[in-house]
Each structure stands twice: as structure tokens, then as C-alpha cells.
Amino acid sequence: MPDRNLQANTRRPAPRAQTRPRSRIVSALDDALRPHEPVSRRTYLSGVILSTAVIAFVWILLSYGGIVPPLFLPSPSDVVRAAVALFREGSLLIHARASLSVIVTGWALAVVAAVPLGILMGTLKFVEALVEPVVDFVRYLPVSAMIPLLILYIGIGTAEKVAVIFIGTFFQLVLLVADVSANVSKDLLDSAYTLGAKRGTVFSRVLVPATLPGVMDNLRITMGWAWTYLIVAELVASDRGLGYLILDSMRGLYTDRIFVGLFVIGLLGLGFDIIFKQLHRILLPWSPKI
């Protein structure tokens, strides 16, 4: 097929100038599936709509179609009704607020401790020697395995859940930030030295700003992970929070409420993700990542 070769050379196909006309769908797919090539906004959006529509369609089909009983899969209207009811009772807000406060507190404490330590660890070999063995060991311990110990030490309550989030986030974040700071170009630091900067200045005015985009990315990523620890924490010995809502609904077989809990967690997670991306854009306009 001579026209195939022509395409390979010019990368972009000359759209309608082919000897054998191909269907529009085939050529659109061909355009959309080039490795590492950008696609038009329209193509991108149609992908987003397609996947959402397929999931919605399957859900609607299975639930309203009576293929899966409501006990296992509530219909969209059941879920909306349950959400409205929970919201009216005021419990949805209470649970969401409880989860949010635990997650934000635990995560923020971890950030405050892990970011400076990670930057030092990635920069100073000696700090790496001090920190790495401990962190590498602890981060392989599942957070859920530490919950009994935490309950023993701190008791049941908010502090224990905050501690779960902290432990889950802290050790991962230290290593992620260390990696970011270790990857700061040495030439950047050397340039600062040749401009007359002393060690402290190089740290504060070069190394720290240079790590910001990477740190920002990792804050976003660990916030996502923190949600998974939160649910683990709330499934054990808890009386409020979205995880508790889900567990409690299961006991009463309120599957629709379980779905409400899941949706709220998903939406909050998505919200945080968007906030972090916007913050990155606003606070670090110079970042090569945006």
C-alpha cells in the first residue's frame, strides 16, 4: 500500500487525498491513536463523554432492566433519593465533615514534617543514611496493620484516625520528595555558587524553589492516597465519617447509601485534584509542568 508509506513519512496524513477513501470513523480513530501525538480538544472530549456514557448506560441497563436486584445495584434514582434523604437528615454533611477534618489534619501534619525532611534527605547524603533505612522499612508495613497498635496507644477517636493518615502519608511522601530534591540539577546549584551564593542561600533560594513543582505534584498524589487510608481508619472502631457511613449502611443492607458514600468520596477526591492542579497553575506559573 503505497499511501501507507507516504503517511509514515509525513506523520500527519493528508486527510482526503487518498486513492482509496477510508471511512471517517476509521481515519478519526487512526488520528486519535497515534502514540504521544496530541489530539484535538473535540476528540479528547468525545473520549470523556464516551466512557462516562458507557458506564451510565451499563448501570441503567442493569438496574432498571431488572438484571441485577436493587440489593446489589441500586438504580440511579434510588441513589439520588438516598442522597437527598441523607442530606435532609444532616448526616451526610456530618460524615463528610468528619472525614474531611481527619484527612486534612493528618495529611497536613505529614506534609509539614515530610517535605523538609525529604528535601534534606535527597540533598545531603548523610541525612539519607540516617533516614532511609527506617523509612524504607516502615513504608512496607500496611497502615491497616498498625491500627491495632494505634488504638492501643492513642485509643479510639479522631486522634487515632489522624495518626493513621499521618503514618500512611508521611513515609511515602518523604521518599517522593527526596527523589524530587535529588533530581535537582547539580549545575543549577553550581551556577548559584559561581554567582556568589553561599551554602545556606543555595539551599533556600535555589534548592527549595527548584523542588516546588515536584513537591506540588506529590502533595496532590498523596492526598489521593490519604483517602484510601481514611476509609480503612473509619471502617475500624468509628462512629462517623464516610467510611463509617458505608459500613453502617452495609449492616442495614442500604446499598443505595453505600453508593452515596462512594460517590461523595469520589467527588471530594476529584475536587481536591482540581484544586491542586489550579494551585499549581496559580502559584507556580513558571513551572515547566504546566
User: Which grid cell is 29?
Assistant: 480513530
- Closest approach of Cβ 204 to other proteins, in Å? 12
185 binds other proteins (CB under 8 A): yes
Distances (CA, A) of 287 to 49, 273, 277, 290: 30, 18, 12, 6
DSSP E strand stretches across 128-256:
none
- Cα R_g (the chain), whole angstroms: 25
Among 59, 62, 201, 235, binds other proteins (CB under 8 A): 201
Pick the closer one to other proteins by CB: 203 or 225.
Answer: 203
Per rule CB under 8 A, is residue 217 in the interface with other proteins?
A: no
Query: Given candidates 121, 177, 210, 226, which one binds other proteins under the rule CB under 8 A?
Result: 210
CA distance 234 to 247: 9
State which residue, 90 or 288, has the beta carbon closest to other proteins: 288
Residue 205: CB minimum distance to other proteins, A: 8
User: Is 212 near other proteins (CB under 8 A)?
Assistant: yes
200 binds other proteins (CB under 8 A): no
CB of 53 to other proteins, least distance (A): 37
Question: Could you give the CA distance from residue 95 to residue 115 in angstroms, rounded to a whole number?
Answer: 30
In 3D space, the residue among 147, 280, 286 whose CA is nearest the CA of residue 221 turns out to be 280
State the nearest-atom distance from the C-beta of 181 to other proteins, in Å.
15
| Of 193, 253, 275, 281, the one binding other proteins by CB under 8 A | 193
Q: Is 206 in the site for other proteins (CB under 8 A)?
A: yes
d(CA 1, CA 3): 6
With beta carbons less than 8 A apart as the criterion, state whether 144 and 232 touch.
yes
Check: CB of residue 124 under 8 Å from CB of residue 182. no
Taking the least distance from each CB to other proteins, the nearer of 43 and 204 is 204
- CA–CA distance, 265 with 268 (Å, rounded to integer): 5
Q: Return the range that interacts with other proteins (CB under 8 A); candidates 44-52, 188-196, 230-238, 245-253.
A: 188-196
Smallest distance, Å, CB 279 to other proteins? Answer: 15
Which of 201, 177, 183 shows the shortest CA–CA distance to 113? Answer: 177
Question: 130 or 197, CB closer to other proteins?
Answer: 197
192 counts as binding other proteins under rule CB under 8 A: yes
| Stretch of 107-115, 171-179, 203-211, 231-239 lying at the interface with other proteins (CB under 8 A) | 203-211
108 vs 173: CA distance, rounded Å: 11
- The amino acid that residue 243 corresponds to is G
288 binds other proteins (CB under 8 A): yes
3 state DSSP class of 11? coil
DSSP assignment letter at 288: T
| 188 touches other proteins by CB under 8 A | yes
- In the complex with other proteins, which residue's Cβ is closer, 135 or 216? 216
Binding site for other proteins (CB under 8 A): 185, 187-188, 190-197, 201, 206, 209-210, 212, 284-288
